[in-house]
Amino acid sequence: MTTKTDRRVFLRSSLTLGAGLLVLRDSRLAFGSQANDRLNIAAIGVAGMGAGNVGNLASQNLVALCDVHESRAAKTYEKHPQAKVYADFRLMLDELDKQIDAVVVSTPDHTHAVAAVAAMKRGKHVYCEKPLARTVFEARTMRETAAQQGVVTQTGNQGSASEGLRRAVELAWAGTVGPVRQAHLWFDGGDGPRQRPADEPPVPPDLNWDLWLGPAPYRPYHPAYCPAVWRGWRAFGSGGMGDMGCHTANMLFRSLRLDRLWHPDPNQPKPDRVVIRIHGQASEVDVEGYPRWMVVDFEFPARDELPPVKVTVYTGGRHPSEEVMRGDEMTKWGALLDGPRGAIFTDCPWNTRYALLPKAEFEGFQGPDKTLPRGPGHHGEWIEACKGRGETFSSFAIGGPLTEFIQLANVAATVREPFDYDTLSGQILNHETANSLLHREYREGWTL
C-alpha cells in the first residue's frame, strides 16, 4: 500500500464485526487489484520479542520503528534502514498517521494497552504480544475498541497457529472425551517477593526512562526493572501467569468455549449477568511481586450446550492429582480436559502438541474431520486478514477474554477470598478490594 489514500476509511468500510471474529463482506471491495500490495507497518518495541515480530513481518513495508532504548533496538534499526525511528509512539502515530496501515506492539505488559488502543482509535490494525494487557480493564478496553473500530487484530500467542492446538480443539468440540466438567492448568516455576532497590544508579544515556515507565507510577530507574526483568514486578508485568498464561491456557480456554461467556448468543435474550465464581490461594501476598505459588479455582457456568466446568490453575510446582494423567507421568507444564471418556492433554507450554489419555485406549484413533482453518502461520494470518483475505484465529475477541481469565487468577491470588466476576459488566460484584485491582490510575499524560 503506497498511495496517499486514507487507508483507515478504505479498509474499515469493507469490514464488519460478527460472531466475535472479523468477517469480510467482500474481500474484493477491500483491495481489488491491489491485493498483492504490502502493508505499511509500524512497530512499537523492537528489541527482544519485538525484534522477532519485526523479522516475521519483514516481507511488508516497515515504515516506522519505535523503541525507548536505543542500544537494544540498534540491530533492528540497522536491518531496516528505510524505517523512520521514534522513541515516543504517540509522536509516531501523530506524524505518520496517513502512512500507517497496521501496528505491532511488543512492549512490556504495562504499556500494551495504551499503545494498542491509541493505534486502534486511529483505525490501525494491531498485533499485540501476550498478555494483551496488565489489567482486566485494559484487556476489556482493547477488545471493545477493536470491535468499535472494525480493525483486524491478533494476540501474540503464536501456538494458536499450530496444528497441535487446532486439532486438540477440534477433538474437544467433537465430544471425543465427553462433556468436560473439570479441567486443570499448571505452570512450571513461580515468582516470589520483590524488594525495591535502595540505590539510584544513573539512567543509561540511551534509555528514555520516563517513556519506558509510560502510565506506571513513577519510580527511579534501576537495572532490576529493565531490560527483560520487568515481568516479576507488579508495577510493570503480570508474573508467570501473564508471561505464559495466554500460551498454556489457550487450548483449554478454546476447547471449553469459555469465550462465549463474554459473547452471549445475540439470537437469545441478553442475560443481566454472567457470573464466574473465583477463589485463590497463594504462598504470600507481596506488594511488589507475585507469589511463589498459587492455586486458583474458577467455576464457570454453562455455555449453551456445554455443562458448567471447574477450572483449577496451579503455579510454582503445584499440580493436580496424578490420577488425572491416567497412567502417564505428571509433567512440569500441562493443560488437561478431564472428561468421562478420557482426557485431552498437552504438556507443551505453547500447546503445539497434544495427547489423548489413556494413550492405550486411543491408539489408532482418527477422530473427526478437520473443521478449523489451517493458515500461513500466526503472523502471516494477520497480514492476510489485514489485506482482506480470511480471519485471524486469535483476535482480541478471544484474546481479550483469555487475558481477563489470566489476570483474574492474579487478582484471586492477591485477595485469597472468593468473589464473583460478571463478564458482561467487567465488575467484581461482592469484593471491593478485588474490584479495585481490576485497573489502576495512570500517570498524568497517559490514557486509554
Tens digit of pLDDT for each residue in 115-165?
Answer: 999 999 999 999 999 999 999 999 999 999 999 999 999 999 999 999 999
Domain residues for the domain of 59 are 7-160+377-399
Q: Is the residue at 38 inside a domain?
A: yes
pLDDT at 14: 32
Same domain, 177 and 117: no
d(CA 281, CA 414): 8
3-state secondary structure at position 392: coil
d(CA 12, CA 91): 23
**Does one domain contain both 335 and 391?**
no
Tell me the H-state helices in 63-181.
70-79, 89-95, 112-121, 136-149, 163-173
Statement to judge: residues 248 and 344 lie in one domain: yes
**56 shares its domain with 83:** yes
Q: Does residue 323 share a domain with residue 246?
A: yes
pLDDT of residue 256: 98
The pLDDT confidence band at residue 37, using thresholds 50, 70 and 90, is confident
How many angstroms separate the CA atoms of 338 and 328, rounded? Answer: 14
Residues 101 and 149 in one domain: yes
Taking the C-alpha atoms of residue 44 and residue 86, their distance in angstroms, rounded to an integer, is: 9
Co-location of 181 and 148 in the same domain: no
- Does residue 95 sit in the same domain as residue 174? no
- Considering the entire predicted model, what is its pTM? 0.91
Section 267-281 average pLDDT: 96
Question: Could you tell me if 121 and 181 lie in one domain?
Answer: no
Q: Determine, yes or no, domain membership for 207.
A: no
**Residue 39 and residue 387 in contact, taking contact as beta carbons nearer than 8 Å:** yes
- The tally of domains found in the chain comes to 2
Q: Do 128 and 247 belong together in one domain?
A: no
What backbone phi and psi angles, to 5 degrees, belong to 223?
Answer: -65, -10
pLDDT digits (tens, 9 = 90+) for 61-115: 999 999 999 999 999 999 999 999 999 999 999 999 999 999 999 999 999 999 9
Domain membership flag for residue 251: yes
Residue 389 and residue 352 share a domain: no
346: domain CATH number is 3.30.360.10
62 within a domain of the structure (yes/no): yes
Same-domain status, 309 and 383: no
Has residue 22 got a pLDDT over 90?
A: no
User: The domain that contains 83 carries what CATH number?
Assistant: 3.40.50.720
* Residue 447: pLDDT band with limits 50, 70, 90: very high
Q: Mean of the pLDDT values across residues 216-245?
A: 97
